[in-house]
């Protein structure tokens, strides 16, 4: 089985090879005194349409045109190629008009969001494997409720059995809010465990006031806190894996709409050999 690293190297080489064919072709075309912007523009539009087809493929269950993972690979490397052709098309010059500036910004934002998404899709799964067990994003609220219910039950148990309010006070002051909803999302984004350690530290500080049976409950609460924190970690990181698409896909459609207008304007105003 081919490794990820080997696959990446192979596909990168293929992309470079395609670029090595396309760019000289475009250069050669420009030397023929034709307006290279027409050719590079249509090339770029074709690449953008190919990139958009990935989203279409995801929605289609039939016909089985290759696996989604194959399409993803195609999407990634065609995206790289599109960025290259984009800079060729624009001559690596900043736009000077309002419309073209919007178009330029849309493409750059789209490319940037794609690169960010690619980075996230490469880095987030690894980080998820390091923390907690695998969970489905949509089930996280239910798991969070289960953990919260369990923690609440333990605290009630400590009151009923020992008549002590130490753990219940701690729960109401520190844990109730923590267990009931996602917490410390910012810290999880940067993989910081400081908030978790702080809660555990506060719980440990109560240890000298607890009876032996209460310590047993506290140990269970410690485990629940760890699980809840891992769950928040998964929620945060899986969430950003889904959230970046809120930028990438809308930008795609905005770009396509502007591209249509761009083509109309070019053909209405151009005055060279296409």
Partner 1 sequence: MRIPLQQLDHRSSSYERPNQDWVCGWARDGHACKLGPDGKGRCTAQAQAHCAPVREGDRWVCTRADVFGGTCEQGPLPDGRCCNPKPEQEVCQPVRSMRAKRALVVRLAAMLALGILVIGLAGPWRLHFTSPGELSASHMAIQGPPGSQNCGVCHVSGDTTFGGWVKAALMSGDYESNTAHQSSQCLACHFSTSTRDQAAALRVHSRSEEAMARMAEKSNARADSNAAGQPGSGDQGTASPGRSPMALAGLTTASLDLAELIHGKPQFDDDVIPCATCHREHLGPDHNMKAMSDAKCQVCHETRFESFNKGHPEFTALDHTNRGIIFDHSEHATRFEGGKLKCAQCHEADPLGRTMLVRPFETACEGCHAQGSEDHHGDAIKKNALLVLQLPSMEFDEKMYWPMDYAYAERLTPMMTMLLAGDDAAVPMLKSITYDSYGDLYEWQLTLEDNDETEKKAELAQAIKHLVKDLAEYSDEGAEARSQRIAAAFDTTTDDPAVRNLAAELASASFVMQMFKQRYMPQLDQDMKGEDVSSDDDESDQAQWMTSKNMSGWRVDSDEGTISYRPVVHADGLLKHWIEAVVKFSHRPLAADADALAKDRHELLTRIAENLENDFRACTECHSEQGEHINWTAAGRQYAASGYVKFNHRPHMAMLHDPDNCTTCHVLKTGSGENMVHGFEPHRKAVCENCHAPGNANNTCLNCHQYHETRPNASIVTASVGQK
Residue numbers 94-123 binding partner 1 by CB under 8 A: 95-100, 102
Contacting partner 1 (CB under 8 A), which of 1, 2, 31, 92?
A: 31
Segment near partner 1 (CB under 8 A); pick from 40-48, 72-80, 136-144, 198-206: 136-144
**In this structure, how many other beta carbons lie within 10 angstroms of the beta carbon of residue 167?**
26
Q: Nearer to partner 1 by C-beta: 47 or 179?
A: 179
Question: Would you count residue 49 as binding partner 1 (CB under 8 A)?
Answer: no
* Structure token digits, residue 195: 């908030």
Alpha-carbon separation of residue 45 from 57, 107, 111, 139 (angstroms): 18, 11, 14, 40
Q: Is 41 exposed, middle or buried (0-12, 13-18, 19+ CB in 10 A)?
A: buried
User: To the nearest 5 percent, what fractions of the chain are helix, strand and coil?
Assistant: 80, 0, 20
Choose among 154, 178, 181, 182: nearest CA to 168.
154
CA quadruple 150, 151, 154, 155: dihedral sign: negative
Q: Nearer to partner 1 by C-beta: 11 or 249?
A: 249
Min dist. Cβ of residue 188 to partner 1 (A): 17
Question: Would you count residue 203 as binding partner 1 (CB under 8 A)?
Answer: no
Question: Would you count residue 53 as binding partner 1 (CB under 8 A)?
Answer: no
Question: Would you count residue 250 as binding partner 1 (CB under 8 A)?
Answer: yes
Q: Nearer to partner 1 by C-beta: 4 or 269?
A: 269
Question: Would you count residue 202 as binding partner 1 (CB under 8 A)?
Answer: no
User: 3-state DSSP call for residue 3?
Assistant: coil
Angle at the Cα of 222 (from 216 to 226), degrees rounded to 5? Answer: 150
Contacting partner 1 (CB under 8 A), which of 19, 23, 112, 135?
A: 135
Q: Which residues bind partner 1 (CB under 8 A)?
A: 24-25, 27-35, 93, 95-100, 102, 133-139, 141-148, 150, 220, 223-224, 226-227, 231, 242, 245-246, 249-251, 253-254, 257-258, 261, 263-274
């Amino acid at each position: 089985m081919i490794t990820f690293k080997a696959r990446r190297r192979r596909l990168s080489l293929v992309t470079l090879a395609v670029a090595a064919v396309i760019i000289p072709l475009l250069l050669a075309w420009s030397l023929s005194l034709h307006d290279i912007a027409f050719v590079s523009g249509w090339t770029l539009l074709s690449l953008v349409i190919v990139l958009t087809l990935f989203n279409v493929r995801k929605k289609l269950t039939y016909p089985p045109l290759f696996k989604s993972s194959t399409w993803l690979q195609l999407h990634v490397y065609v995206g790289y190629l599109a960025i290259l052709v984009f800079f060729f098309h624009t001559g690596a010059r900043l736009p000077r008009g309002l419309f073209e500036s919007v178009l330029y910004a849309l493409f750059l934002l789209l490319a940037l969001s794609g690169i960010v998404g690619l980075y996230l899709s490469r880095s987030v799964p690894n980080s998820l494997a390091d923390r907690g067990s695998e969970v489905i994003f949509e089930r996280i609220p239910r798991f969070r409720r289960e953990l919260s219910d369990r923690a609440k039950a333990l605290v009630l148990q400590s009151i009923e059995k020992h008549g002590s309010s130490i753990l219940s006070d701690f729960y109401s002051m520190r844990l109730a809010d923590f267990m009931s909803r996602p917490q410390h999302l910012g810290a999880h984004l940067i993989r910081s465990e400081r908030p978790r350690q702080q809660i555990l530290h506060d719980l440990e500080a109560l240890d000298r006031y607890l009876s032996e049976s209460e310590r047993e409950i506290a140990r269970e609460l410690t485990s629940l806190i760890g699980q809840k924190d891992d769950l928040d970690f998964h929620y945060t990181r899986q969430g950003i894996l889904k959230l970046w698409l809120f930028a990438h896909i809308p930008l795609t459609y905005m770009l396509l709409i502007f591209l249509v207008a761009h083509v109309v304007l070019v053909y209405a105003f151009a005055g060279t050999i296409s």
